[in-house]
Structure 1
Amino acid sequence: MAGRTDLKHRLVTRFQRHLANPLNRRLPFQVLLETTGRTSGLPRQTPVGGRRVGTSFWLVSEFGHRSQYVRNIQADPRVRVRIAGHWHRGTAHLLPDDDPVARLRSLPRFNSAAVKAFGTDLLTVRVDLED
């Protein structure tokens, strides 16, 4: 099963990195999560799906601690989130004790379906927004 999970991870991340993410980053309504590259120190923008609830933005990472943006958050939790075309600064928190499947039920359906279908190690992320 681990081999199948690794293959799924490689295929999905290759598709996202080379096709889906470059296209989605250009869409003005697409939510973007901006982290700081843990090695380069450069801003890294990743299209994500999630929902703002009050002063927090919630999302579920489909590959958990294997996701590059999650690894960047572990190195530096200060992030920015573009919601409805506006950038918000915040601090990201990884929530391994949260139930990511239950969390997906409260997030946008289309993205949640994709995360459940393609994900192999779900992890809830909460961004506490400053502005």
Structure 2
Amino acid sequence: MRKIKTKIYIPTTLTGNMGRHYIPVLEDLRKTIYSDRILSRLADSGNIVIHSSVGYPVAKYKNTGISIGIEPLNPMIRQDLTLGYIVVIRNEKASQEVNGLLNRSLPKAISTFKDHINEYEAAKSKML
């Protein structure tokens, strides 16, 4: 079985001579979700599905429109994150982008993702 690399370093035109550019992969999203107690319980129970079948890392709250993804800046090249990426949170109504370095933007995005899940669950419980 082939081990999935959690970090890929590729020099790009974005960084020039500054060093190497970090390319996020599925494991980064998984680690951030599992660092939150509530989200990790939801992921363990199968209510949050983490995958990359669309070409980039995505986590979806099952049977809803709530998701978070590390998407390429160029949507025409779905599997190439070397040209840049953006963290996007979506719910049934809108999408929100979080810019910046992954180590800063992903925790903010996870917090927003969790807020959307809490709002959905609160609205769902009021309907019952």
> Do both share a fold (TM > 0.5)?
no
Q: Provide the TM-score with structure 2 as the length reference.
A: 0.25
More strand by share: 1
Larger Rg: 2
Q: Provide the TM-score with structure 1 as the length reference.
A: 0.25
